[in-house]
């Protein structure tokens, strides 16, 4: 089960709803993901989830203690999906970069879920495995225990911080996203050199600000880690 909580055996059994749907923790998590992707986290309710499942909303609580328990299970599911296909190459720095970008890209595939998935600690199986993998890579690189933890914290929070920002951008209306992207040329391109000398000097490069900074940020950090060994 993906939620990672200790659930009594009678709650683990699959139970058909009145409409004939066989409920399971996986089905509930999948359906919750679809609802939040479509409507946003703030609009999500267990009542809506029950309707989408064709079940009484109270049936959800046979599998999850409460809404938070379900959302943490969903966040952990995304971590697990981000790790699918991850393989070590023998280069600890490249593997750390890949690990962090996988977490970032998972959040960007589900920007509505990133509202909570980027800021919560699930404490569940997939997150445990990801944390163990990341810290393990740093230990193998030769960092001591405390330094490995600090560096992992810095790297993963950088990736998730950028994910939260970039997911927020994706949640904007299309017209807002276009306006923000164009502002780097329209609002900054013609600023006078005498008043804004630095901006004027780099005006042709300012559209780069419209893209994500996650990869340059990770590259800077990982280059520093290589040098610190």
Element (H, E) at 23: strand 22-23
**Does residue 60 belong to any structural domain of this protein?**
yes
* Inter-residue contact 96 to 137 (CB < 8 Å): yes
* Inter-residue contact 210 to 180 (CB < 8 Å): yes
* Inter-residue contact 16 to 22 (CB < 8 Å): yes
Q: What is the pLDDT of residues 47-101, one digit of tens each?
A: 999 999 999 999 999 999 999 999 999 999 999 999 999 999 999 999 999 999 9
Asked if residue 107 and residue 59 are part of one domain, the reply reads: no
Element (H, E) at 27: helix 25-39
> DSSP assignment, residue 84?
T
**Does residue 3 belong to any structural domain of this protein?**
no
Q: How many domains does the chain contain in total?
A: 2
Asked if residue 173 and residue 137 are part of one domain, the reply reads: yes
On the CB side of 166, how many CA atoms lie within 13 Å of its CA?
22
- Residue of 74, 206, 203, 218 whose CA lies nearest to 160: 218
Which CATH number characterizes residue 83's domain?
1.10.357.10
Q: What is the pLDDT of residues 7-16, one digit of tens each?
A: 444 444 555 6
> DSSP assignment, residue 24?
-
Q: pTM of this prediction? A: 0.87
């Amino acid at each position: 089960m993906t939620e990672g909580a200790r659930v009594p055996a009678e709650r683990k059994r699959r139970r058909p709803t009145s409409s004939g749907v066989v409920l399971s923790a996986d089905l509930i998590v999948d359906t919750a993901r679809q609802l939040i992707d479509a409507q946003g986290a703030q609009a999500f309710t267990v009542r809506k989830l029950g309707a989408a499942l064709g079940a009484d909303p109270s049936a959800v609580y046979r599998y999850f203690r409460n809404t938070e328990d379900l959302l943490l299970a969903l966040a952990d599911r995304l971590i697990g999906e981000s790790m699918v296909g991850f393989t070590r190459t023998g280069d600890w720095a490249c593997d750390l970069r890949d690990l962090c970008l996988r977490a970032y890209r998972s959040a960007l595939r589900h920007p509505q879920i990133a509202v909570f998935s980027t800021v919560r600690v699930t404490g569940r199986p997939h997150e445990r495995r990801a944390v163990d993998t990341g810290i393990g890579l740093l230990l193998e690189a030769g960092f001591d225990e405390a330094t490995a933890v600090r560096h992992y914290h810095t790297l993963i929070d950088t990736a998730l911080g950028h994910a939260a920002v970039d997911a927020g951008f994706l949640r904007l209306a299309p017209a807002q996203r276009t306006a923000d992207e164009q502002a780097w040329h329209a609002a900054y391109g013609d600023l006078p050199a005498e008043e804004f000398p630095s901006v004027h000097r780099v005006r042709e490069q300012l559209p780069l600000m419209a893209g994500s900074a996650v990869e340059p940020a990770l590259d800077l950090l990982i280059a520093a880690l290589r040098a610190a060994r």
